[in-house]
Structure formats: structure tokens, C-alpha cells
Amino acid sequence: MGYTASMHASFLVVGAGLAGLTAAEQIAARLGKDCLVIDRRDHIGGNCHDMQDEHGVLVHPYGPHYFRTDSERVVNYLSRFTDWHPVRYRVQSCTKGRYWSFPVNLRTFEQLMGRECTEEEFRAWLDRERAPEDGPPANSEELMLRTAGKTLYRLFFAPYTLKQWGVPATELAPSVCGRIPIRTNRDDSYLKESFQALPQDGYAAMFRRMSSSPLIRILTSTSFEEVKKRITWDHLIYTGPLDAYFNYSLGRLPYRSLRFEREHFSADQLEERLPVSGKEGFWQPEMQVNYPDPAVPWTRIVELKHATGQQVEGSTVIREYPDAWTTEKEPYYPIPSGVSEQLAEAYRKLTKREKHVTFIGRLAQYRYLNMDQVVLQALECADALAGGRDNPA
């Protein structure tokens, strides 16, 4: 749908990702107001977008999006637009020429020791390995040396972190590595949330249903810079990069970018791969395999078919490469460090001066948010607007 110079929207939503579409759906449903949603890409859904590749395999082209939550409100809300395919997300780590159980658990320790072990042995070993606590950890390295110990830190965390973020763990906030648990039992679940599932028909179908209201208009392949010169609005919902909104007036926030390489394997190729994958019809042993080794250029390989349960011949894997960010590339991850947080907080203070503008989502908040946190933030945005406020309390 095009637009004209005379177009006016009650709400302009910048970004048709999870945050923007949730906010638009709620504004239309609860406030009865019209929304114009724009996005630079040629599809809705942002990084959560999924699609069938040319071989009919469902893939996440912008990296895996593992939906999980403990929020009943989030589940109830999204369940209005999709049924669910329950998933137990499984991950391994490939380093030193072998696959390791991951996140670190008793099985990982047994692989390291080369024999069966007890939880008591593992806990005693960790006590010897761990660095003593002396106040709050200042960075991710300090945190992981206190929780995982030096051997596991050097094996799994230090090289992966450097490759993924482009800076050593000493320069990253403790929360970066702290997202990964260390368990002394045999629980190898990647995530801990009570609800773990993927949309039954995929994210794209869910997003289409969320945006089906006649009060919602969507313009793809459209930039905010292009639109704001020609369209007027009463209220802005902004989900783009925080520093870009303010024309980088305080300086540029650092981001990490990614690039993806997709490869398909036929049924015959998968059969040949069986001694490695250990699973008929798959290329690798689990949905996600991490690669900490510095000599390997990618950080992980994802084979989504493990999670979707899709019945299709062949399988597709996506290799994920970390990439330095430039303005020509997508800003996938805010880089959590002391310096970046100071600059982000300065920008956040500027947002308080903006009238009739709401900033939501990972980029607009410059925070590492999970999908359910983004949805909840958008729902709380609607709560605030319904209560006559620009932003959630």
C-alpha cells in the first residue's frame, strides 16, 4: 500500500517486528485507533520472521528465535493468534574435535573426566576450580570464573565470547555470560522457562493474524526518514535504534552484527552423515551446536528441523557468523558494557523529554531483551496508552 502527502495516522509504529506488531494490535483492539506500521525490510516480523526455503524447509533466516516464557499474560495473549508446537530446546558445543553436552552439566563433566561421575564429585571439583567471591563480579570473566571455574571457562566461554562479541569477556557486563546456567545434575535443557514452544504454523503466520485488523495499515520497504517527511501522526511508537532516533547527537552506540550462510542437504547426504548426527534425517546431533574454537569462523550452526518436527525430506542448516557492525549492516545485539550503558542511559534520559513518543523493544531500549520481555513491554505500553500515559509506569 502506498501513501500520499496528506496521509495522517493516529499512531505511527516504526518497526514491524514483535514489539511493533504487538503494540499496533493492542492499539487497534483496545483503543480503537488506526495504526500505520512501517518497516525497512520487505516483510513483517523483524528478526523473528520465518519462511520456507526453496526446498520447503522452515527456517529462521535471521537466526533462531526460541520462544519461551514464564509469563501467563504473554502466553495467553499470543495464543489468540497461534496454536503451539511444544519444544524442548537442545544444544551441544563442538570443540576440541568432539561434541559436548551443553549447557554445562554433569554429563559435560563426565565427558571431561572420561568416566561416570557423581554430583558430589562434580560439586567438589567446581569448588576447587572456582575463583573466590570478593564483592559483585565486575565483568563476565569474573562471573564465569566464580561459577564455572577456570577449566570450563577457558573451554567453552572465553573463546566463544570473544568470537561472538569481538571483545574479551573482561569488557562485557556479567549478564552476558550469566545467561548460561551451570548445573551439577544431568539436566541438559538449554532454557529454564516453564513454557517453551514454537508457533504451530510459524511466526510469519502468527504475525499476519496479529496485523489483520482493518485499523492496521502496513508499509514495508519503507524507512522512517522517508515517512516522517510526508505523513503526520498523533503518537509515535518507536522500535528502531535508540541513538538513530536522536541523530546520534551524543555519539553512536555499539552493536554487534551477524551474517548467515544457509546450506541444504538431501536425504542421501543426511544418510551419509548419520554416523556424525546420530539421528536419521538430520545433519547434526541437536538443533543448535555452538563452536567456541577460534579457528572456526562461525559461532553456531542451527538445524531448526529438530525443533519444528517438520516432516520433509532433506534438511537445512544455517551457519551464523559474528560481524562487526557498520551503519550499512543490521544492528542485531546491543553490546552490554560499562561504557555503552553510560551512553545508552544518557540517550534514555532524552526519551523522557519526547512528548507522545513511546520507545519499546531491544533496539529502542538498548537492552538485551528476550522475546517474551518484548511482548510484555508492548502490552504494558498499551496499558499506559489506555490509561492516558505515553510510557509504562
Query: pLDDT tier at 3 (50, 70, 90 boundaries)?
Result: low
- Taking the C-alpha atoms of residue 346 and residue 250, their distance in angstroms, rounded to an integer, is 8
Q: Are 60 and 302 in contact (CB under 8 A)?
A: yes
Q: Are 315 and 281 in contact (CB under 8 A)?
A: yes
Mean residue pLDDT of the chain comes to 94
User: How large is the average pLDDT for residues 124-137?
Assistant: 94
Q: Is the pLDDT of residue 390 over 80?
A: no
* pLDDT for the residue numbered 393: 47
Is residue 246 helix, strand or coil? coil
Give the pairing of strands 216-219 and 35-38.
Answer: parallel
Domains of the chain as residue ranges with CATH: 8-87+198-254+335-386 (3.40.50.720), 104-178 (no CATH)
- The b/e string for 282-305 (b: 16+ C-beta within 10 A; e otherwise) is bbbbbbbbbbbeeebebbbbbbbb
Torsion angle, alpha carbons of 284, 320, 264, 221, to 10: 150
- Taking the C-alpha atoms of residue 368 and residue 124, their distance in angstroms, rounded to an integer, is 34
User: How large is the average pLDDT for residues 106-131?
Assistant: 97
327-374 per-position pLDDT tens digit = 889 999 999 888 899 999 999 999 999 999 999 999 999 998 999 999
* pLDDT for the residue numbered 203: 98
* pLDDT for the residue numbered 1: 45
Question: Between 241 and 387, where is the model more confident?
Answer: 241
Query: pLDDT tier at 311 (50, 70, 90 boundaries)?
Result: very high
Question: How many Cα atoms are found within 13 Å in the side-chain-facing hemisphere of 44?
Answer: 27
Question: How many Cα atoms are found within 13 Å in the side-chain-facing hemisphere of 225?
Answer: 5
User: How large is the average pLDDT for residues 303-328?
Assistant: 94
* pLDDT for the residue numbered 188: 93
213-222 per-position pLDDT tens digit = 999 999 999 9
* pLDDT for the residue numbered 31: 96
Helix (H) or strand (E) holding 218: strand 216-219
CB count, 10 Å around CB of 383? 14
Query: pLDDT tier at 7 (50, 70, 90 boundaries)?
Result: confident
Q: How far is CA 372 from the centre of its chain?
A: 10
Query: pLDDT tier at 272 (50, 70, 90 boundaries)?
Result: very high
Query: pLDDT tier at 96 (50, 70, 90 boundaries)?
Result: very high
Beta-bridged to residue 262, according to DSSP, are 318
190-209 per-position pLDDT tens digit = 999 999 999 999 999 999 99
Amino acid at 355: K
According to the 3-state scheme, what is the secondary structure of the chain?
CCCCCCCEEEEEEECCCHHHHHHHHHHHHHHCCCEEEECCCCCCCHHHCCEECCCCCEECCCCCCCCEECCHHHHHHHCCCCCEEECCCCEEEEECCEEEEECCCHHHHHHHHCCCCCHHHHHHHHHHHCCCCCCCCCCHHHHHHHHCHHHHHHHHHHHHHHHHHCCCHHHCCHHHHHCCCCCCCCCCCCCCCCEEEEECCCHHHHHHHHCCCCCEEEECCCCHHHHCCCCEEEEEEECCCHHHHCCCCCCCCCEEEEEEEEEEECHHHHHHHHHHHCCCCCCCCCCEEECCCCCCCCCEEECCHHHHCCCCCCEEEEEEEEEECCCCCCCCEECCCHHHHHHHHHHHHHHCCCCCEEECCHHHHCCCCCHHHHHHHHHHHHHHHHCCCCCCC
26-46 per-position pLDDT tens digit = 999 999 999 999 999 999 999
* pLDDT for the residue numbered 134: 85
Stated pTM of the model? 0.93
